[in-house]
Amino acid sequence: MKYMKQIMFVCLTFILAMVGLSQNPVLATDSGQTATDIPEASEVSAPGEDTLYQDIQDRGVLRVGTNSTYAPFEFSILKDGKNQVVGLDIFLAQKIADDLGVDLQVVDMEFSNLLTSLDTGQIDIVLAGMTSTEERAKSVDFSDIYQVSGQSFVIQESKVNEITDDSYFSNGGKISIGEGTTQQLLVGDYYLNAEVQVMRTTTDSISALDSGLVDGVLLDEDVAGAYAAENPNLTVIEANLPIQDPGKAAAMPKDQPTLQAAVNESIADAQEQGLIDQWLEESYQIIEDNRQSTWLAYAPYFVNGLKTTLVISAISIFFGLILGAILALMRLSENKLVDLVAQAYIEVVRGTPLMIQVLFIYLGFAGMFGWTTMTSGLVAVSLNSGAYIAEIIRGGIKSVDKGQAEAARSLGLGYWTTMQKVIFPQSLRSIWPSLGNEFVSLIKESSIVSTIGVAELTFQTRNVSTITFNGIIPLVISMAIYFILTFTLTKLLNVYERKMNEKYAR
């Protein structure tokens, strides 16, 4: 009951806002991840208010947004049973936090969601191998450049005689790039004749290359070199672009000169001491140290992810059942207003993608209530599941012959007693098969919360792909785990269904 008022407020706001989003889906490309709990977000400073630096000092925490699928700049390893984001950018983030005299909190999310989270005040700065471009500078301020990388294509070793230089892509070919990255802009400007495939993460692009779906992946030369070094089937060719790479910088909200000056001072000090190159070498060493001799050694990643997936599914099913039952009764109410509110909620939830709902809850309410990403994900999935369960329960109750209710009422039974003792037991046989399908679907759909940083099975699969520089095998392992999980649950539900049918058949 602790969060009941908050959840009721979220439900009402959710209905109104999601109606607007369905007409203007501004968050359609957003997604995210987090490695640690998120403290209550500060309100975004109004234009001209240079307050973020002091907010960070008062809070005692610098929240740095990054994307842990871009080794060696940032990647996630499992340390003492917990996910830890490491890499060049994280070393720099730690120095900035130390210089500010505050703790560091790494908020790990998908790249395309970073600037939105910065704008909504979920994070203070972005350090994610982000290139300082004129387009991005319209919405954020950048620090001084801390690292400059050229651009390279990763291609299959077997195609080196066919793809000798980047002119192959200028005249056609298939290129894969990450969503929202600088490479996406470069491909659109300089490889107009190429067939472009936009993927959510770098590891997804490399997997497409391994599978022969694309001819090359455009990346920063350091990242491309890392993939080629770790995968004997891949090699690198230089992208001879007619522009100078503007370099990587930290992004922060507009009009925060005090924070910007402090970040620039830390970057200047790091460059003067030669720390950038040192951190890059240390990042490669961390990758080497965490490489395992067998895939079985990566089991802790998948086990941790599986535990989180089961927790998310179980809790979401529990609260989804409660919410679904309430909504079903509202739909069956003779009060037209109550019925209308429930119907509006159900239609909005079923008419919008779960990913947008997860993002809306995270970006709109996590800071307001001080929720962690785990809590945000649980609330979003529970609210979504409740809408579908409501219709399942309503349909089952409606399938019971009206004469049963009339007979019960004629015997003097009240409404709630009739529902509990007569109607619901008979409707359960109709409800259970569809409810079982919803449970199975929920296990698979829980993977969407990985977009806001919940370290469930899909999130851990990407971590393994990043540190092994292999996208296919981790996916196969993850698919096998999901299949075993859903297949086992389906069989258990079928056993209970048969017992229930035998009970009521007597």
Residue 256 pLDDT > 60:
yes
Give residue 261's pLDDT band: very low, low, confident or very high (50, 70, 90).
very high
Is 188 found in the same domain as 61?
no
CA 49 and chain centroid, separation: 31
Q: Residue 417's pLDDT is what?
A: 72
Angstrom distance (rounded) from CA 194 to CA 174: 6
Lowest model confidence (mean pLDDT) among 45-49, 261-265, 278-282, 311-315: 45-49
Alpha-carbon separation of residue 42 from 62, 119, 122, 174, 388 (angstroms): 12, 11, 8, 44, 35
Claim to verify: residue 343 and residue 370 sit in the same structural domain: yes
Residue 15 lies in a domain: no
User: Would 26 be classed as within a structural domain?
Assistant: no
**Residue 59 above 80 pLDDT?**
yes
Do 185 and 141 lie in one domain? The reply is no
- From 447, 480, 475, select the one nearest 461 (Cα to Cα): 475
Q: Three-class SS of residue 132?
A: coil
- The percent of residues in the chain predicted with pLDDT above 70, rounded, is 86
Does residue 36 belong to any structural domain of this protein? no
Q: What is the pLDDT of residue 230?
A: 78
pLDDT reading at 386 higher than 90: yes
Do 138 and 100 share a structural domain?
Answer: yes
481 in the same domain as 359: yes
What's the whole-number mean pLDDT along residues 73-98?
90
Q: Residue 203: what pLDDT?
A: 82
Q: How would residue 505 be classed by pLDDT, with cut points 50, 70 and 90?
A: low
**Whether residue 214 is found in the same domain as residue 363:** no
pLDDT band at 421 (very low <50, low <70, confident <90, very high): low
The answer, yes or no, to whether residue 476 has pLDDT greater than 70, is yes
User: For 158-178, what is each residue's pLDDT tens digit?
Assistant: 999 999 998 899 888 999 998
Q: Give the residue-averaged pLDDT of 251-273.
A: 96
Q: What is the CATH number of the domain that holds 182?
A: 3.40.190.10
Mean pLDDT of 500-504: 65
Sign of CA pseudo-dihedral 340, 341, 342, 348: positive
What CATH number is attached to the domain comprising 314? Answer: 1.10.3720.10
d(CA 405, CA 9) in angstroms, rounded, equals 35
Mean per-residue pLDDT for 424-453? Answer: 83
**Residue 357, pLDDT score:** 92
213 lies in some domain: yes
pLDDT for the residue 405: 66
Whether residues 340 and 254 share a domain: the answer is: no
Q: Is residue 346 part of a domain?
A: yes
**Angle at the Cα of 1 (from 304 to 444), degrees rounded to 5?**
35
pLDDT at 40: 45
Please give the Cα distance from 506 to 502 (Å, whole number): 7
Same domain, 287 and 397: no
Q: How many domains does the chain contain in total?
A: 3
Among 205, 220, 238, the domain boundary falls at 238
Q: Which domain holds residue 496?
A: 297-505
Do residues 225 and 315 share a domain?
no
**What are the tens digits of pLDDT across the range 289-344?**
887 778 888 888 899 999 999 999 999 999 999 999 899 989 988 889 999 999 99
- What percent of the chain is predicted at pLDDT more than 90? 39
pLDDT for 186-226, tens place per residue?
888 889 889 999 988 888 888 889 888 999 999 988 888 88
Instruction: Indicate whether 468 belongs to any domain.
Output: yes
Does residue 157 fall inside a structural domain?
Answer: yes
Beta bridge partners of 218: 153
Helix, strand and coil percent figures for the chain, each rounded to 5: 60, 10, 25
Instruction: Report pLDDT for 479.
Output: 94
Residues 102 and 124 sit within 8 Å (Cβ to Cβ):
no
Q: What is the pLDDT of residues 346-379, one digit of tens each?
A: 999 999 999 899 988 988 888 778 788 889 999 9
For residue range 104-158, what is the model confidence (pLDDT) as tens digits?
999 888 888 888 889 888 899 999 989 888 889 999 999 999 998 889 999 999 9
Q: What is the pLDDT of residue 35?
A: 41
Are 189 and 55 found together in one domain? no
**CA–CA distance, 386 with 124 (Å, rounded to integer):** 34
In this prediction, residue 29 carries a pLDDT of 31
Check residues 197 and 497 and name the one with the higher pLDDT: 197
Higher pLDDT among residues 26 and 201, named by residue: 201
Residue type, 54: Q
Q: How far apart are CA 279 and CA 129, in angstroms?
A: 13
Mean pLDDT of 55-68: 94
Regarding whether 287 and 301 lie in a shared domain, the answer is no
Residue 381 lies in a domain: yes
446 and 495 together in one domain: yes
